[in-house]
Amino acid sequence: MSSRKVEDLLREEYLDLLPELVRLADDLKARIEFHILPVARQLKTYENLIVKARIKDCSSAIDALKRRSQARLFDQEHPDLYSLKALRDLVGIRVLAFPSEQAAQVDTLLRDEFPEWTSDPVIDSQTGQQLASKYYGVDPHSPSALLCEYQIASTLTGLFWEVEHAAIYKSAPNLKAFINSPAMRERTSDVYSALKAFEGEFERQLKQADRSGKSVVSA
């Protein structure tokens, strides 16, 4: 048995993996940006595609692994049971798209580029509504055979996740239990529904303006 705690061993593993994670994030972002160029080049002034790369920080990675364990505790007598390589999202890419048909086109293009990756859509547990497409798989450019993921979400939903993460999870991770309470899940679902309705109405009005020949952008 190692005299060092599992958490310390995982921190050491993270530091060993970090240079590879940085390279993978840059490479995967560039590949995705390249393969969605056919959509990006056709965007109208009010449409957008935003590609963002993320590397899971060390504390979040260890916490994610801990949540998989029985009673959410590491077995300190068996440190060999744990490796950050088991996580699917050490490296993640998120594509934010508006309007919704851009997301569908991007999804098709990236499925052609990553045909072996597994679909794992993000679902609102309250309504069953799909919030984002998500895929994960082993990056062929990873010497350590690390799993990576990419998501495709609407712009407003993706930006809401960023605000939520920065305001709650990043500043006070212990608040996650409150966010996962039934009452808060219901309120969060209300936000998703409101954002979807807002984007849907905005898209409808923009298309109506396009059909009527009206300019939708001020000079």
Would 90 be classed as within a structural domain? yes
pLDDT of residue 217: 55
Structure tokens at 135: 């895929």
Q: How many CB atoms lie within 10 A of CB 110?
A: 21
Is residue 186 one of the residues assigned to a domain? Answer: no
Q: Can you tell me the distance from the alpha carbon of 206 to that of 215, in angstroms, rounded to the nearest whole number? A: 9
Encoded amino acid at 200, one letter: G
Q: What percent of the chain has pLDDT over 90?
A: 71
Task: Note whether residue 39 is domain-resident.
Answer: yes
**Contact (Cβ atoms closer than 8 angstroms) between residue 87 and residue 56:** yes
Two structure tokens written together for 15 = 């530091």
Kindly state whether residue 204 falls inside one of the protein's structural domains.
no
Mutual angle of helices 100-113 and 6-35, in 10-degree steps: 110
- The helix/strand/coil state of 48 is strand
Q: Judge whether 181 lies within some domain.
A: no
Largest CA distance in the chain: 73
111: domain range? 6-155
Q: How many CA atoms lie within 13 A of 107 on its CB side?
A: 17
Question: Residue 31: is it exposed, middle or buried by C-beta count within 10 angstroms (0-12/13-18/19+)?
Answer: middle
What pLDDT shows up at residue 218?
A: 46
**Distances 158 to 43, 92, 128, 154, 218 between C-alpha atoms, Å:** 19, 13, 18, 6, 26
Which of 129, 179, 132 has the alpha carbon at shortest distance from 151?
A: 132
Q: In this structure, is residue 177 part of a structural domain?
A: no
* Count of structural domains within the chain: 1
Tell whether the model's pLDDT for residue 3 goes beyond 80: no
pLDDT for position 152: 98
pLDDT score recorded for residue 70: 75
Name residues whose C-beta falls within 8 Å of residue 105's C-beta, 6 or more positions apart in sequence.
38, 39
Q: How far apart are CA 176 and CA 6, in angstroms?
A: 23
Report the run of H or E that residue 172 belongs to, with start and end: none
Q: For residue range 120-170, what is the model confidence (pLDDT) as tens digits?
A: 999 998 999 999 999 999 998 899 999 999 999 999 999 999 988 877 766
* 145 part of a folded domain: yes
77-106 mean pLDDT: 94
Question: What is the arithmetic mean of pLDDT over 191-218?
Answer: 84
Distance CA 54, CA 148 (A): 10
pLDDT at 216: 60
pLDDT at 103: 94
Q: What is the CATH number of the domain that holds 57?
A: 3.30.460.10
Question: Is 37 inside a domain boundary?
Answer: yes
- At 115 the pLDDT is 96
Cα separation, 130 vs 162, whole angstroms:
18
Q: What is the mean pLDDT of the chain?
A: 90
Q: Give the tens place of pLDDT for each residue, 168-195.
A: 766 665 666 677 788 888 999 999 999 9
SS3 annotation, 113-147: HCCCCEECCEECCCCCCEEEEEEEEECCCCCCCCE
Query: Is the model more confident about 63 or about 178?
Result: 63
